[in-house]
């Protein structure tokens, strides 16, 4: 059942990302619905769930939207999922402010680790400017916090 929910969430993320890519290609990099899936998963179910959800999300993203190297996204998002899950299991992150902070930091880490890995492996991916990186963190935080609230209202389940 857990896997089905994760698969449904990833499919929804894929749909959203594809729609943004088609409708507003210039803004596609500013929104990362896959990141939101793994953060919610990590906050709600801990580091193992966050790790697995992050790896799956990263692979789906790599395959559909990535470059010629497959796996960097999976690694980055797996690590972020683990870290978020670790935070979620150690601290109570249910308030809007703490969630916004976690989402912002996770989004920044996502970009930073990804770019560091592409540099390390000399993949040569296009780098996101700093201002766009910050905008991306804010947008993902806003979208994540609101979507988490919507999901929790429907599932009536609070993250740990």
Partner 1 sequence: MITLHSDAQRGRLLLLALVLSHLLIITRQVDAGGGLSLLEASVLNVLSPLQRAVAAIFSTVGAVADGYVNLRHVREDNQRLAERLRAVEIELSETRQMAQEAGRLRTLLDLRASLPLQTTVGEVIATEGVPWASMITINKGSGQGLALNAPVISPTGVLGRVIALGHSAAKVQLIIDRDAGVGVLIERSRTRGVLGGQRPETLSAQGELPLKYIPALADVVVGDAVVTSGLDQIFPKGLMVGHVSRVQAGTALLKEVWVTPSARFDQLEEVLVLPKLDETPSFPSTVQ
In the region spanning residues 118 to 137, those forming contacts with partner 1, defined by CB under 8 A, are: 121-123
- Binding region for partner 1 (CB under 8 A) out of 9-17, 72-80, 97-105, 143-151: 72-80
- Between 6 and 35, how does the x/- string for binding to partner 1 read (CB under 8 A)? ------------------------------
39 binds partner 1, rule: CB under 8 A: no
Count of residues of this chain found to bind partner 1 when the rule CB under 8 A is applied: 23
- Binding region for partner 1 (CB under 8 A) out of 22-30, 44-52, 97-105, 134-142: 44-52
5 binds partner 1, rule: CB under 8 A: no
Concatenating the DSSP letter of every residue in the chain gives: -HHHHHHHHHHHHHHHHHHHHHH-GGGGGG--HHHHHHHHHHHHH-HHHHHHHHHHHHHHHHHHH--S--SHHHHHHHHHHHHHHHHHHHS---SHHHHHHHHHHHHHHHHHHHHHHHHHTT--PPPPPHHHHHHHHHHHHHHHHHHHHHHHHHHT----
Contact residues for partner 1, defined by CB under 8 A: 46-48, 51-52, 55, 68-72, 74-75, 78-79, 82, 85-86, 89, 117, 121-123
């Amino acid at each position: 059942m857990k896997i089905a929910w994760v698969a449904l969430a990833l499919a929804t993320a894929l749909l959203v990302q594809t729609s943004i890519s088609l409708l507003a290609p210039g803004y596609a990099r500013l929104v990362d619905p896959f990141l939101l899936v793994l953060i919610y998963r990590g906050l709600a179910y801990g580091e193992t769930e966050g790790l697995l959800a992050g790896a799956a999300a990263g692979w789906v993203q790599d395959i559909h939207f990535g470059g010629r190297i497959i796996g960097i996204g999976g690694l980055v998002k797996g690590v972020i999922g683990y870290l978020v899950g670790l935070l979620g299991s150690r601290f109570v992150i249910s308030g809007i402010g703490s969630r916004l902070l976690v989402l912002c930091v996770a989004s920044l880490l996502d970009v930073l680790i990804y770019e560091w890995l592409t540099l390390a492996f000399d993949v040569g991916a296009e780098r996101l400017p700093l201002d766009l990186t910050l905008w991306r963190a804010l947008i993902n935080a806003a979208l994540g916090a609101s979507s988490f609230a919507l999901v929790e209202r429907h599932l009536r389940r609070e993250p740990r």
